[in-house]
Amino acid sequence: MKLNRRQLIGGAAVMAAMPGIPSAFAAVKEETRDLVIVGGGPAGLSAALYASRARLRAAVLHDGGGQVTSTPEIENYLGIDSIDGFELDRLFTEHAKRMGAELLTARAEKLTAGDVFAVETRGGVLRARAVVLAMGATHRELGLESEKRLFGAGVSYCATCDGAFFRNKTVAVVGGGDTAVSDALYMSKLAAKVYLIHRRDEFRASKFLVERAQARENIRFILSTVVEEVLGEDRVQGLRLRNVSNGNVGTLETDGLFVAVGIRPNSELVRGLVALDEGGFVVAGEDCKTSLPGIFAAGDLRTKPLRQIVCAVSDGAVAVESALEYLETR
């Protein structure tokens, strides 16, 4: 049977579970606000909270919680020992709403600059004196034809969403950062065996996470190795691997593959409008100011050395503070 990741936590399900946020696209009133926040992840919701505290007329375009909702376990958010990403996103959303934030279930499709900024959605146009970009980032793929063909049939990018499909089975996780190791740890609680595959001989992930993974009896590391092909016709049955050190090629039997090889910024909305770096991230400093006055970037979308939930939340507050300074000059 073809596995469908949307049977668990998919985009529509996420939105339907958010109290007070309609699952259909909200009608957008054509009025000029002080601020429009594009994105409803940690950065966007933090910005919404601070905008509400500053009594700004602000609206958040919210079409999902972003990467946080697919994080299996969060242990590094101050004051919370352990929580899954979906629950943390729910808490963020409810807090922002209690503070009076206006959350609209709509996706920004075009942003234009003029006397005021215009954000076009399917439900209408929002006009604002300033904009905070908080669209976040999405997963990167391995770039294999077989990976695309078997997506939803054993290939997944979300351990939280699809992990339950692989209870007592064998899975592989590919990647070397915090997300990959966290996914391996999460899957080790469900699967009989977990292979953690990384193209380098050392992990980029925090030592704390790596040490935890090393201590799990059912996690095996496969280093200096890349996935060349996902094997199987209707479902994942294995992987063809190549050792980058000696060139040796072999196969690995597995029922599933979780890909966690990095992120790409969701910056298409502002390409050509604000400066981007070579990776497509919005160029913005710690003040969250972009190359275009009145537009601010917060969270994983912007250039920064560390991308964590706590950093995104901080960015949301800073972006609103910078927006306030900008609005005072208008």
The residues carrying an active-site annotation are 158, 161-162
- How far apart, in whole angstroms, are the C-alpha atoms of residue 278 and residue 18? 35
Strand arrangement of the beta sheet that strand 249-253 belongs to = 225-231, 238-243, 249-253
For residue 58, give both structure tokens: 């602000």
- E strand residue ranges, 244-321: 249-253, 256-259, 263-265, 295-297
DSSP 174: E
Contact, 86 vs 160, CB < 8 A? yes
b/e burial code for range 156-186 (CB count within 10 A of at least 16 → b): bbbbbbbbebbeebbbbbbbbbbbbbbbbbb
Vertex 67 angle, CA 65 and 69, to 5° = 55
Vertex 261 angle, CA 4 and 9, to 5° = 30
For residue 111, give both structure tokens: 């942003």
Vertex 134 angle, CA 295 and 326, to 5° = 25
